[in-house]
Chains A and B, each alone.
Chain A
Amino acid sequence: MHAAQFQHDHLVHFYHLHALDWVDIVSALKADPKKTADLADNVSNAKVGGSAYYKQVQQRIQTFVDSGQLGPFSNAYWGHPAYKLPPEANLMACAHYIEALRLQARAARMHAVFGGKNPHPQFLVVGGITSVADLKPDRIAEFLYLQKETQEFIENVYIPDLVAVASFYKDWGAIGGTTNFLAWGEFPQGENEPESLFMPRGLINKRDLANIPLAIQEKVAENVTRAWYEDGPDLHPYKGETKPLKEDPKYRPDGGKYSWFKAPRYEGEPCEVGPLARVLVAYGKGHKEIKPLVDATLQKLGIPAAALFSTLGRTAARGLETIAIGQAMPGWIMELLENIKSGDTKTYTSWEMPDEGMGLGLNDVPRGSLGHWINIEGGKIKNYQYVVPSTWNFGPRDDKGKLGPVEEALIGTPVADAKQPLEVLRTVHSFDPCVACGVHVIDPDSNQVYKFKVI
């Protein structure tokens, strides 16, 4: 179920939340459908294609544009000089944007099969799962079919598109990088954790891939100096406090508080989390599925491993882990089937609420490392804290002035037109923000502050 979440999330992120930072829809109208079909045949094994297909997609976009109601595509940065794709590549990507919109609705059914619905599946309870009646061959086959269809799209369309688009934006292999990376890891394949995790746990200090220590949760603390909470010391989440200021919070980026995010730190250092962190940890550890995928992609693009520390690397890593996880899924599902065959259909373990206790859960979810910490006293929750991926990535400065990862990544981004900061969007979106976040661009000539929102 969690792997299905990765497949779905990453697909939607690439096509629907990030692609239009690189793909110019308006330019697609100028494409030659025949040449587009040739391009698509060259780069991918997409099931649908051919010049008639691309002609029809182009006509559909033209009809839409001619209607004068541009809807969600109004007022964007079409024609911006930072768009580098030829019209044919733009048309191919637009067609796949639409195909992916349909596919994701079907891919989400994987969750509904065992989880009742998507989004917000309801089948997990403390102690196990409830969908015991769905652990039958027909439901498992339904899941397998949907998974196969999704994985085929990922391998034959998403990744080829990613590589085709990336080949026009290789300069982005030197823009938007950060320094430290944290992955709690995910997908246990046995009883031992973290040893059996398919995506391994690890910490990368100062881009050092040769020496990746295990990440230890005790070393996490959050700082609230620049966040809209009552001031206090750095606290580990077990002792964490959430005391929002009792006022209309004012945005004070120059020395004051300016964010609802706390600033999480690992041994005092900010860390990027997410697909790039996971893939770098796996790559550095010589992961047998991830390493060859990364090496082959670097080779195809003709860029060095150092280019992974970038916006391009982040977007590529997301695609590559989607493939690797998708390839592992059928094996996991067959294990379930084998269990059922041998009569092991246990879905739940009884439990009792303790009067006192502490506990934690460390996972990696599509957007990155996720930790939950709970304190129980008198049979009730006394404290519950979580540090979620976007808090790591989008957290503000701390008391020592250290920048959050996204802040660091944006420094040095070339911006052709400060009024249309498309380049900034590329890096911010590459982190897959779980937030509508506010950023400011200052024009060094006029000192005029342009406010804009990244969504």
Chain B
Amino acid sequence: MEKERSFYQRLKEKGVSRRDFMKYCTALTATMGLSSSFVPKVAEVFAAPAQRPPVVWLHFAECTGCSESLLRSQYPYIDELVLEVLSVEYHETIMAAAGYQAEEQLHNAIKKYEGKFICIVEGGVGTKYNGGYGKVGGRSFLEIAKDVCPKAAAVIAYGTCATFGGIQAAAPNPGGYKGVGEAIGMKTLNIPGCPPNPINLVGTVVNYLLLGKLPDLDDMGRPMFAFGSTIHDKCPRRSHFENEEFVEEFGSEEAALGYCLYKMGCRGPETYNNCPTAKFNDGTSWPVEAGHPCIGCSQPNFWDTMTPFYEEM
């Protein structure tokens, strides 16, 4: 009880009410597909982890949009994730160390936490020309991935590039880019999306902290709680699809009425993700709500398989 009181006291000091926090935990628990009895346990994870799990975050061929998406996490805000929930040992964008000291920090973290750290990978891995098209500190992404990933407790491929190769893997793929798992022949937990929803990473990490294991995965290594159904299955515009009420041109009356975007090339029917229910930026919106067809950004070989956009499947 003492611990609980101090935790809520701490939240209060930060301007977060107990009610807000429990609301968040309830939403997260639901997103993860756990029963409501887990809500207090989810709260507990944020209250006082014994030791913050070490995270090594590798940046390969990417735009840093996945990291940016994590910065947009609210409840918990990123400062809590970084200062009180996780221990982000290496992350090129947010870490203060640079250059030689950054490389040393990576080396130290892997040595100190071998077999215990979570490795989160953002970006694709080049395999052609010895992986020479992408390097950090003179080492190719391929070499770094082969060195670091096998030493982790779990490898999470965060985003479409790390999962499936992403835009640099689109034809003609001059650098031979692949998802990290395929590039080094290793199983990874995959959270695709361009960018992925931060709640899906937070949910995965909470699952790990709570149950000591990673969440249930589908045959592509994606957490079932987030990727168990298609966009189309849960789309709020689904009834328009059933009623054959379609948008056929942007800017039309049908577009203003929020009709189904299937004929505008929506990839919702073949795209597995929880965008319609989780939404983005603290539930502000998601692409279909903004009247834009789903472009299938979390699907395998996104770009080659999903283009040309705006054309019916």
User: Which A residues are in CB contact (< 8 Å) with B138?
Assistant: 251, 438, 451
Interface residues of A in 116-165 (CB under 8 A from B): 116-123, 125, 127-134
Query: Is B95 in contact with A131, judged by CB distance below 8 angstroms?
Result: no
A447 on the interface (CB 8 Å rule)?
Answer: no
Residue contacts A-B, CB under 8 angstroms, 11 given: A20-B96, A74-B97, A76-B97, A101-B77, A118-B280, A123-B290, A125-B250, A131-B291, A421-B99, A452-B99, A453-B137
Query: Is B96 in contact with A25, judged by CB distance below 8 angstroms?
Result: yes
Q: Which of under 10, 10 to 19, 20 to 34, or 35 or more describes the interface residues of B?
A: 35 or more
Query: Is A115 in contact with B129, judged by CB distance below 8 angstroms?
Result: no
Q: Mark B83-106, 1 if CB is under 8 A from A, else 0.
A: 110111101111111111111110
B52 on the interface (CB 8 Å rule)?
Answer: yes
B187 on the interface (CB 8 Å rule)?
Answer: no
Partner of B251, one of A17, A128, A451: A128
Q: Mark B257-301, 1 if CB is under 8 A from A, else 0.
A: 010000000000000000000001110111111111001000000
User: Which A residues are in CB contact (< 8 Å) with B291?
Assistant: 123, 129-134
B33 on the interface (CB 8 Å rule)?
Answer: no
Chain A residues within CB distance 8 Å of chain B: 12, 16-17, 20, 25, 56, 60, 64, 67, 69, 71-77, 98, 101-102, 104-106, 108-109, 111-123, 125, 127-134, 244, 246-249, 251, 346-350, 419-421, 425, 436, 438, 450-455
Residue of B nearest to A69 (CB): B87
Query: Is B287 in contact with A117, judged by CB distance below 8 angstroms?
Result: yes
Query: Is A248 in contact with B136, judged by CB distance below 8 angstroms?
Result: no
Query: Is A77 in contact with B101, judged by CB distance below 8 angstroms?
Result: yes
Q: Across the A-B interface, how many residue pairs have beta carbons closer than 8 Å? A: 208
Partner of A451, one of B84, B137, B281: B137
User: Which A residues are in CB contact (< 8 Å) with B102?
Assistant: 75, 452-453, 455
User: Which A residues are in CB contact (< 8 Å) with B59?
Assistant: 436
Residue of A nearest to B106 (CB): A75
A438 to B98, CA, bound (A): 11
A446 to B250, CA, bound (A): 65
Closest A-B pairs by Cβ, 9 of them: A452-B99, A348-B251, A248-B132, A116-B290, A117-B280, A130-B291, A76-B96, A112-B284, A112-B281
User: Which A residues are in CB contact (< 8 Å) with B72?
Assistant: 104-105, 108, 118-119
B243 on the interface (CB 8 Å rule)?
Answer: no
Given A128-B250, A453-B137: A116 touches B71 (CB 8 Å cut-off): no
A219 to B119, CA, bound (A): 47
A327 to B52, CA, bound (A): 42
Given contacts A75-B97, A117-B280, 20 further A-B contacts (CB under 8 A): A69-B54, A71-B52, A71-B86, A71-B88, A71-B89, A73-B96, A75-B101, A76-B101, A113-B284, A119-B72, A122-B290, A122-B295, A123-B290, A134-B285, A244-B175, A247-B132, A438-B138, A452-B98, A452-B99, A455-B93
